[in-house]
Structure 1
């Protein structure tokens, strides 16, 4: 079995779909049977969620929209349970301290810690109120998002239940996590957007994005203040929208489906998202060109990329690295403005590698217990990290080393130089790709020694974890062998001092942090 086992990943995706469908059913059952009073007070439409679960197609259960929605519902059930507990809690300070520790570990990708403990420390006073406010907010967000997953379904729901109307509090001020612009609705799974008329956008700005969605059996409307405007109408089996339809922006068509590009997240000087803006055609073309280069230079890698990455959100953010969320598989946020063409190629594969490993982690347990001790030196962060962080880094940067080696090979031999230039890459880019490959080989080898120590001496890794580390070791050994002929040229180039310095830093780190000693490099 290799790291790029596409049939295996496809099977894991299918298992993942089934598990998410089961999870949605289980969550709805828990809400109805164990938390009925809280559900009623929150006006959480569990029956509609069940209706939605039946309407979703099989493939949708691995889609980043649906997965994120179900994961958020799972979070809500967790917080509802805490809300019930705290109301009967006899030791609120101990409860708060335990919850603070759990949130630090469990919700590092979310803002829940800030919501519950805004001072950054365990705080028992007012915790019940803050929990209730968080549950209320999640209910609103989940309900609004559920209306947009299957076009026309809310109206069919009202018709099936013989409900004359259903009112849903909504926010249309833009969404950073899903990269949705003010005054737009992203409906369905394909990336289509419906944009409000200018008058509605102005009203939404005045209301700070606050509005109410009115659902009727044949009509969907938006209420802003006292003004009601139509969203869409059901004509027989056809849905007619009053808002402007914006087709999905497609960067690449693959065997796994279209890869779409969303709006751009624009960051401020504080490195925080400031607004969501339209993405230029030039950036879409750059993404498409980068994807094509991967396809030509590394077909096997592109197969995995096509399987696991479905949508790209450009970032206009100086000093902000590309990122992705575990709970939004297939959605990659890529810095397209502060990075050059080689960086863009690298970032596409890097974020895909996170999707790749996260899929494996949903199936396999790689290590025993939490293992949060920060005892392993990370060559990438130059600081001590827990086992989980080292595993993620070793995996993603092994993929990076493989990518750079394939790019180097693609640019070599007959026609290689012409291919490289036609791809919009420079000779300096080629030197840097080879340097990055050698740099990642050194870093991954360092971390693999730590992972092997964690496995054989500390007994922290499971059988699955041991097999994965073995695959990483074999892959990086192959890369090292393939890139070896370029090492002398890189050391003689402008990147030579940086490579020597990196190797020296790793030696020093090993001597400082252990737990094993490097042999002579």
Structure 2
């Protein structure tokens, strides 16, 4: 099946790495050549950012941490350009309205809209100040993170620049986007970290977490209040960590790159992140078991999973679904506490499928002209979504249907029941996997009709998008054929009423939202 063919996907990944390495260099050149005045005002070390290229091995240019850093740098350069336009603009109200629309489409995954337009309206008043404040915050975040990809490079750069000391403002509170613990510093590019000693932790707990990193020719220290704590130093060519240094927590050991598990992100009752805490070893073992089950049950799907996912962040969040970010490929936030073992397998594949499609979208333009209009009903969210959202959902849930189909085959029969039990799954899980397979077939079929309508009647799909939709259609047709073997059993089981309700809901949605008439959909 083309969707799971590793060879072209690996080729695209290599192309992506080369393009991001070029982007890294281009952004640094732009900062030095075109934005030197603003870089100076923000104390943005563009030459150090360029110096960092020697710290990043080629394979890191497709991983969550390095790509996240480069994407943030790209956002900053974009915002600096907007700032420069704004201060020259005569009609600021019109400019703010246009910028507001651009931000809604460009930054739908970020919180930048809250920084730039806190009222949710395109207000020009105070925009210049808010824009500069956001640029300043991004500069601080980028610079802090850049110090620790390779602290030796930071010290080397200071020596080369003949600086007595380089002070970098920072913050060591919980970081929710990257799931970093308060009082720790993420080091390297794969999830290692160091932890402040108890006395520094105590001071940090009494403050807002604000610190100043001080880099000199001998190493890096952190100033917290009046306390100066050495973190890393080098002497006689030997480097030394003064804070407790920790390797990444590895769930799956591989030759080329391990899959690591980060700290747990804890949510409150309002479904908002509240704190970060260390991850219990049991959750690491569950993730490893889910990974191995996927390898045994669905080797082709596992191949793509192993290629594209390299870090998992557990979520302790009741009612919060797993998620991932386009700008942090390979990083999956997985709800491990409010979901069982079957859900965990599903969520790993689901988020990996987002990574998969995001990689394809970096290579191919698949849709155009839709203006992010929320006009398509989503069978999964049960709300209207833009074309981008429907394409992502159709892709990821097609992969989900394939997963459940293979899990059912692997777990059926006498030998299958033994394997199923060893994977920590119950007999009810097997019946639920059959139900989920059928449920996803119905939902994907619904969404495919809308994607085909967007292509044929609205002209919103490109050739690449059209090709992908055809592949999804072929994949779900295959699952549908195989699932007929157990459809009758599901309809007669305790899951039968839920399946019938789901089909009825889709029929009502089609009548309500169209654009295809019920008679045309075969319902």
Whether 1:344 aligns to 2:331 is no
When the two structures are aligned, how many residues end up with a matched partner? 521
Cross-structure match for 1:84? 84
The residue number in structure 2 matching 1:61 is 61
How many Å separate the matches in 1 of 2:54 and 2:416?
52
1: distance between equivalents of 2:334 and 2:55?
32
| Matching residue of 2:207 | 207
Q: Work out whether residues 346 and 403 of structure 1, in 8 Å CA contact, stay in contact via their aligned partners in 2.
A: yes
- Could you report, residue by residue, the CA deviation over 1:26-82 in whole angstroms, capped at 9, with x for unpaired residues? 111211222111111000000000100233211111121110001001111111111
Task: Give the structure-1-normalised TM-score.
Answer: 0.98
Q: Which residue does the alignment assign to 2:330?
A: 330
Aligned counterpart, 1:404: 404
1: CA distance between counterparts of 2:386 and 2:435?
27
Rounded Cα–Cα distance in structure 1 between residues aligned with 2:266 and 2:133: 28
Aligned equivalent of 1:294: 294
Which has the larger displacement, 367-376 or 278-287? 367-376
How much does 1:488 deviate? Answer: 0.3
> In the alignment, is the contact (CA less than 8 A) between 2:151 and 2:220 conserved in 1?
no
Partner SS, residue 393 of structure 2: helix
Structure 1 position 415 matched with structure 2 position 415: yes
Decide whether the 8 Å contact of 1:63 with 1:330 is kept in 2.
yes
Contact between 2:368 and 2:462, CA under 8 Å: does it hold in 1? yes
Deviates more, 1:450-459 or 1:322-331: 450-459
Mapping 1:491-510, distance limit 5 Å: 491-510=491-510
Deviation at 1:370, TM superposition (A): 4.2
Matched residue, 2:449: 449
1:410-457 C-alpha deviation (Å, 9 max, x unpaired): 011340111111211111111111100000001101111111121122
Looking at structure 1, the residues matched to 488 and 196 of structure 2 have their Cα atoms a distance apart, in angstroms, of: 59
Is contact 2:219–2:233 with CA below 8 Å preserved after alignment?
yes
Kindly indicate whether the alpha-carbon contact (under 8 Å) linking 1:376 and 1:513 is maintained by their aligned counterparts in 2: yes
**Does the Cα contact within 8 Å between 2:194 and 2:243 map onto a contact in 1?**
yes
The Cα offsets for residues 200-244 of structure 1, whole Å up to 9 and x where unpaired, read as 111112231101001012211111122211111113433200011
The offset of 1:292, in angstroms, is 0.8
2:231 corresponds in structure 1 to: 231
Change (3 A) 1:397 1:255: farther
**Structure 1 residue 358: Cα displacement:** 0.2
Which residue number corresponds to residue 472 of structure 1?
472
Q: Alpha-carbon deviation of 1:256?
A: 4.5
> Structure 2: how far apart are the matches of 1:69 and 1:138?
10
- 2:52 aligns with 52
SS of equivalent to 2:494: coil
CA distance in 1, matches of 2:438, 2:236: 62
CA contact (8 A) 1:371 1:387 kept: no
* Equivalence for 1:120: 120
Post-superposition shift, 1:357?
0.3
2:30 maps to what in 1?
30
Q: 1:104 to 1:507 in 2, by over 3 A?
A: same
Report the secondary structure of 2:96's partner residue.
Answer: helix
Aligned position for 1:313: 313
Structure 1 residues 236 and 369, CA, compared in 2 at 3 Å: closer, same or farther?
farther
Aligned residue in 1 for 2:482: 482
Q: 1:396 to 1:256 in 2, by over 3 A?
A: farther
CA contact (8 A) 1:233 1:241 kept: yes
Matches within 5 A, 1:353-368: 353-368=353-368
SS in 2 for 1:286: helix
Q: Aligned-pair distance for 1:135?
A: 0.8
What is the match of residue 512 of structure 1? 512
CA distance in 2, matches of 1:83, 1:415: 64
Please identify, of 292-301 and 1-10, the stretch whose mean Cα deviation from structure 2 is larger. 1-10
Call closer, same or farther: CA 1:466–1:256 in 2, change over 3 Å: farther
The residue number in structure 2 matching 1:433 is 433
- Give 1:190 deviation, angstroms: 2.9
Q: Distance in 1 between matches of 2:237 and 2:10?
A: 34
Contact 1:83/1:131 (8 A) holds in 2: yes
Q: Distance in 2 between matches of 1:482 and 1:254?
A: 33
Q: Which moved more, 1:501-510 or 1:472-481?
A: 501-510
Contact 1:259 1:309 in 2 (8 A): yes
- SS at 1:415's partner residue? helix
Cα distance in 1 for partners of 2:443, 2:256 equals: 33
Give the structure 2 partner of residue 146 of structure 1. 146
| Residue 160 of structure 1: how far off its partner (Å) | 2.2
Q: How does 1:247-262 map to 2 (within 5 A)?
A: 247-262=247-262
1:374–1:386 contact (8 Å) kept in structure 2: yes
Cα separation, 1, equivalents of 2:33 and 2:62: 27
| Aligned mates of 1:110, 1:315 — CA distance in 2 | 19
TM-score, length basis structure 2: 0.97
CA distance in 2, matches of 1:35, 1:471: 45
TM-aligned CA distance change 1:458 to 1:255, over 3 Å: farther
CA offsets, 1:329-356, max 9 Å, x none?
Answer: 0000000001111111110000000000
1:152 match: secondary structure: helix
8 Å contact from structure 1 (residues 326, 358) kept in 2:
yes
* Deviation string, structure 1 residues 292-320 (Cα, Å, up to 9, x no partner): 11111001111110110000000001111
Gap change, CA 1:237 and 1:303, over 3 Å in 2: farther
* Corresponding residue number in structure 2 for 1:198: 198
- Find the residue that maps to 2:459 and give its secondary structure: coil
Contact 2:265/2:313 (<8 A) preserved: yes
